[in-house]
Amino acid sequence: MPSQKPRVRRIPVAMPAEGASEQPWYRSMRFSGFSLLMLAIIVLFVVVLAPSLRTLIQQQEQIAQQQHEVASQKADVAQKKKDVARWDDPAYIEAQARDRLLYVYPGEESYLVMGTDQATSDGRPRTDAGTPVSSTVQTPKVDWVQAMLSSVLESGLTEKTQQQLVAPDVSGTGDPE
């Protein structure tokens, strides 16, 4: 007997063509009744607890804010208690009387220097508007008493409206007209 080779039977298999789309991964998932029930319970749990969690977070923020305010007020109270305690010291009372009320002991001389905090670079003080104060006495070109009297009389005796009445010129040019 000649030796025979076992015959291998070949079955043709069709391979998918390259570029053919495979099914997405989620298509192969199968849900059982238990998994759908658990998913529904989880969704229900989130829907029920979400508003409560939001309220809890808001309340925690309010508590933290109010605790910060309480701590700030406690610090303010402690500072005020220190300020009140300072008034028990006679030296502090004396210093406050000298600074605030300009009190001096009998026999002492007190000098008050004014305007040093608003001085210009040349040493002259400044007005509230920021202009330097003049060192010479100036005479106004408008008599303010006459201007006020004429303004009162004109506004009381005229038929003009408020927009038609004009204040006298006080810019220093002279004539009120």
pLDDT averaged per 10 residues, the chain (length 177): 72 67 71 87 90 92 97 96 93 89 85 62 66 71 82 83 65 47
What is the C-alpha to C-alpha distance for residues 141 and 63, in angstroms, rounded to an integer? Answer: 68
Maximum alpha-carbon separation in the chain:
154
Q: How many CB atoms lie within 10 A of CB 45?
A: 10
* pLDDT score of 161: 77
Predicted local confidence at residue 128, as pLDDT: 65
In three-state secondary structure terms, 35 is helix
How much is the pLDDT for 21? Answer: 59
Task: Write down the pLDDT at residue 3.
Answer: 65
Residue 29's pLDDT is: 74
Looking at residue 141, its pLDDT comes to 76
DSSP 8-state symbol, 132? B
CA 109 to chain centre: 48
Structural domain boundaries of the chain?
A: 32-103
- Whether 126 and 157 have beta carbons less than 8 Å apart is answered as no
